[in-house]
Structure 1
Amino acid sequence: MRGMLRKTIGGMAFAASIMNSAIAAEPIKVGSVLSVTGPAAFLGDPELKTLQMYVDDLNKKGGLLGRPLELVHYDDGSDANKANAFAKRLIEDDKVDFIVGGTTTGSTMSMVPLVEKAGVPFMSLAGAVVVVEPVKKWVFKASTTDRIAAERVLTDMKKRGMTKIALLSDTAGFGQSGKAQTESVVGKYRISLVANETYGPKDTDMTPQLTKIRNTPGVEAIFVFGFGQGPAIVTKNIKQLGIELPVYHAHGVGSDEFIKLAGPAAEGVRTLAPALMISDKLPGSDPQKPIVANYVKAFEERWKDRVSMFGGQAHDNFFIVVDAIKRAGSVDKAKVRDEIEATRKYIGTGGEVNMTPTDHMGLDLWSLRMLEVKNGTWVEAQ
């Protein structure tokens, strides 16, 4: 009887050990909805590649909290309605622990009500300020906003003595939010919008709008607010029309793909991008140097392709959650959310991130560098 009891207890202990191992081996599920195809594929493709790369890398190193990570990804095709449906699937069916995604503002905002109701930590990769203002309990983004982009460009224009400019923005969520933010802060810099035109994200010729701008008296520079192929088309049209004005782009063109698409017309164009885009030109004393250098090396070795700021944003948003999970010691969603909000002095490819209960982005005006195309490559503008 005693031997039987010992065997039974031993068997129970063995079973419990197996059960505990199984529990420990359950993957931490990383949910993702990105625009890998469609007009925003320019942004979504490097975002997905970055997430895939680092999920694989962490798993090779033993995972997180002793558990493997599993990336559950859906491609919304740059369609906000699909993003909403996929977010619902991630939450209800896949039961992910957190979500990184929402390549575009439209996709992100279609997902926000779902993550807020379900209480799932959500790191958005979109650019518009509406993502984090007003603050939403479960929504964060460690990528800059259109308001910061507008002020950064206007600061440079003011420094160069410009007082009258033309704004050309796309009619998608990113462009329209950027338009509104530019209009709201332009007076602060004593700069006037003497022309204010828009174009559709699927338009293939913006010469009518640019002709109006060319015929507007007093224009000293053109500020383009858009992403994807649109800004490259605008840049080529400006060259074709013989418009010889300084051209600025917001933070929607931060990759070599823009230079490739715009061709020689890109020469001299100024745009905003994080330090990542000039990683090889950063001084050794720059605190971002080791972070961006490691990311560039890892991405280019894995994918045999050049990095973009959009992949860098995926890096930062992903690792902010990874660090939060480590500090929380669990994937309890409320604890992880609190630790994301407590992020301080995180140095990423996009700058230093300092979150607070009233700031779910944590980046300042100077997180964006002013770059210029010279001899077919990005350099820091002087």
Structure 2
Amino acid sequence: MSKKLLRRTGLLAVTLAAGIFTGAQAAETIKIGSFLSVTGPASFLGDPELKTLRMYVDKINEDGGVLGRQLELIHYDDEGSASSARNYASRLVRSDRVDIIVGGSTTGATMAAVPLIEQSQTPFLSLAGAVVIADPVKKWVFKVPQSDRMAAERVMMDMKERGISKIGLISGTGGFGRSGREQTLEMAEGMGIEVLEDVTYSPSDTDMTAQLTGIRNNSEVEAVFNFGFGQSPAIVTRNYAQLGIDRPFYQSHGVASNSFLDLAGDSAEGLRLPASPLLVPDSLPEDDPQKPVVQAYKEAYEARWDESVSTFGAYAYDGLQLAVAALEKAGSTDREAVRKALESIQGHVGVTGTYNMSPEDHNGLNADSFRILEVVDGDWKLIE
């Protein structure tokens, strides 16, 4: 074989190799990592969250993907265990080498994973509620739902509008309830509301009559606020009705779903809570910028899964859409570029609210993003 022919053959081989390499790059997926409580005591959070992520990753890929690449969802079920969440977060950043994480159904799972996420410098959008997740700001951690502090503020704004200034507080001793209690006590002091009774219950308790009896017997208590999630708030609600307490009753955003109404039954009549407008989309005025977003998500989810939509699935929707917006704004999967893009998101209309992020605010929402809902005739009604 002549030298000239050898040179041509070598050039052809290099060209083919370059083409194969370029094709491989183009076909490389963008990896979205997630750890969620799909089974276990917090499955009412993680199950709709995972269904939402799967549905919209499929839809985004059908529409051409992001940055010309397909999304790949890599998910683990932490079963509501903080230690499992830590282990799966480690796997996502070290073995799977994901580009961004959307997950963390509970505060405990989120906070267990935060040190690894910060160390690995992986952008993370948490779906959990406690204020500690994003306050103080952590460089790589962002938060999708409103905080428990905002929920407490929004509830007490409504109380003040109703002329209520003295309340009883009952809360769970789990991470969400404990943090919610702390934020409520702090917010009440600043808003001129006096907490006359302050009692708690364990997540394993099956009856809260004793705690509520003490509140009922205090004639100065004008309203009662429960901060908790899971099945416990439904037990509190049933016990509240059984004791015949006829004062205004509030729950937190931790039970903003139709499944709570199923558990609480007629006992829930008249209670109020702060929530996104997802549960009452048709009640929004036509010029509300959230209305088309909320309606589209609700219709798509219920058509795909043949079950009622929940606030918690909406957190996953907003988290994924924020991740996509940041990737597109960054123009790459470079982690620092994506992190900076997340910090600069402004006016992003989601199901939960309109997000305005900044280096000083990794949540981008305020208490006004909550709507006050009341249970009327066994269904949710928009109050304001």
- TMscore range, shorter length: over 0.9
- In 2, the alpha carbon distance for the partners of 1:187 and 1:229 equals 29
Question: What SS is found at the alignment partner of 2:68?
Answer: coil
Partner of 1:208 in structure 2? 210
Map Cα deviations across residues 40-86 of structure 1 (whole Å, 9 max, x no partner). Answer: 11111111111111111111122211211111111111111111111
Alignment of 1:127-138 (within 5 A): 127-138=129-140
- In 1, the alpha carbon distance for the partners of 2:78 and 2:302 equals 25
Partner of 1:281 in structure 2? 283
Query: Quick check: 2:128–2:144 contact (8 Å CA) kept in 1?
Result: no
- In 2, the alpha carbon distance for the partners of 1:365 and 1:132 equals 15
Partner of 2:71 in structure 1? 69
Question: What SS is found at the alignment partner of 2:240?
Answer: helix
> What is the percentage of aligned positions where both structures have the same residue?
53
- In 2, the alpha carbon distance for the partners of 1:182 and 1:311 equals 25
Partner of 2:184 in structure 1? 182
Map Cα deviations across residues 276-314 of structure 1 (whole Å, 9 max, x no partner). Answer: 121122121110011111111111111111111111111
Tell me whether 144-153 or 271-280 shows the greater mean CA deviation.
271-280
Query: Quick check: 2:322–2:342 contact (8 Å CA) kept in 1?
Result: yes
User: Which of residues 291, 313, 335 is equivalent to 2:315?
Assistant: 313
- In 2, the alpha carbon distance for the partners of 1:60 and 1:202 equals 44
Q: State the 1:9 CA deviation.
A: 1.8
Alignment of 1:252-263 (within 5 A): 252-263=254-265
Partner of 1:88 in structure 2? 90
- In 1, the alpha carbon distance for the partners of 2:17 and 2:157 equals 66
Question: What SS is found at the alignment partner of 1:136?
Answer: coil
Query: Quick check: 2:61–2:71 contact (8 Å CA) kept in 1?
Result: yes
Question: What SS is found at the alignment partner of 1:252?
Answer: helix
- Unmatched runs of 5 consecutive residues or more in structure 2: none
Q: State the 1:189 CA deviation.
A: 2.1
Question: What SS is found at the alignment partner of 2:66?
Answer: coil
User: Which of residues 333, 336, 348 is equivalent to 1:334?
Assistant: 336
Question: What SS is found at the alignment partner of 1:222?
Answer: strand
Q: Is 1:357 paired with 2:349?
A: no
Question: What SS is found at the alignment partner of 1:94?
Answer: coil
TM-score (norm 1): 0.98
TM-score (norm 2): 0.97
- In 2, the alpha carbon distance for the partners of 1:125 and 1:142 equals 5
Alignment of 1:186-265 (within 5 A): 186-265=188-267
Alignment of 1:86-125 (within 5 A): 86-125=88-127
- In 1, the alpha carbon distance for the partners of 2:84 and 2:323 equals 25
- In 2, the alpha carbon distance for the partners of 1:110 and 1:189 equals 32
What RMSD over aligned residues (CA atoms) do the two structures have, in Å? Answer: 1.1
Alignment of 1:25-40 (within 5 A): 25-40=27-42
- In 2, the alpha carbon distance for the partners of 1:361 and 1:203 equals 33
Partner of 1:372 in structure 2? 374
Q: State the 1:266 CA deviation.
A: 1.0
Q: Is 1:46 paired with 2:40?
A: no
Q: State the 1:228 CA deviation.
A: 1.2
- Unmatched runs of 5 consecutive residues or more in structure 1: none
Q: State the 1:37 CA deviation.
A: 1.3
Partner of 1:294 in structure 2? 296
Partner of 1:159 in structure 2? 161
Map Cα deviations across residues 135-165 of structure 1 (whole Å, 9 max, x no partner). Answer: 0000001210011111100011011011110
Tell me whether 4-13 or 297-306 shows the greater mean CA deviation.
4-13
Q: State the 1:12 CA deviation.
A: 2.0
- In 2, the alpha carbon distance for the partners of 1:190 and 1:339 equals 39
- In 2, the alpha carbon distance for the partners of 1:116 and 1:313 equals 22
